[in-house]
Amino acid sequence: MDDEASSFLVQAVGQDLRALAAAVDQLVNDFPGQPLDTERVKRYFGGRAEAKSFAVADAAFNGRRAVALEELRWALDGGTAPVLITSAFAGGARGLARFVSAPRGMREADLAREVGVPPWKLRTLREQSKSWSRDGLASALNAVARADADIKGRPTIPPTPSSAWCSPLRACASAADACATGRT
């Protein structure tokens, strides 16, 4: 396995040795005698980082603050890029805001198109919207925008070599906290 592929595998699966060993075992058995390049690793494990990001955002939007912060720590420790986490928050906040502001009485398919989500996601948004005030949602949108700006280059604290994770952690935690506590 080349360096780039192994680095991507650690980022996708995390640093748990059992998980890494299982992932490598799966790749070796599915591609015996073949080089394990980044494309093969991405094909098998590319969606894991995104899934971790959505786990953080979903827990926060459902008001499970402690779970969201725990998932956040695991995601960042496992190598999930902070920008993926803020992106999941932004998508969740936009979807919820569009749902709340959509015209009433629309058919499900039309509502899904209006909100910009797949039809199955409407049930989740409907449940989430019951627990959010417009002010709380506005606060969450602002917190997510600030976190996203911090992650993309406007750090609130200058990172040092020993604490480079602090700024992403604080930015994402701030967004998670705002989303989990911005509910009614």
- Walk me through the domains of the chain, giving residue ranges and CATH numbers: 3-46 (no CATH), 49-181 (1.20.272.10)
Q: How confident is the model at residue 2 (pLDDT cuts 50, 70, 90)?
A: confident
Higher per-residue confidence, 162 vs 35: 35
What is the per-residue pLDDT for 45? 74
In this prediction the pTM is 0.63
* The predicted structure's pLDDT at residue 169: 62
Closest residue by Cα to residue 115 from 94, 99, 100, 92 = 99
Nearest to 95 by CA among 122, 77, 55: 122
102: pLDDT strictly greater than 90: yes
Encode 100-127: b = buried (16+ Cβ within 10 Å), e = exposed.
eebeeeeeeeebbeebebeeeebebbee
Q: How many helices (H) and strands (E) does the chain have?
A: 10, 0
pLDDT per residue as tens digits for the range 121-173:
899 899 989 888 888 888 888 888 888 887 777 655 454 443 444 456 666 67
Q: Summarize pLDDT for 38-81 with one digit per residue, the tens.
A: 888 877 776 655 557 888 888 888 888 888 888 888 788 777 77
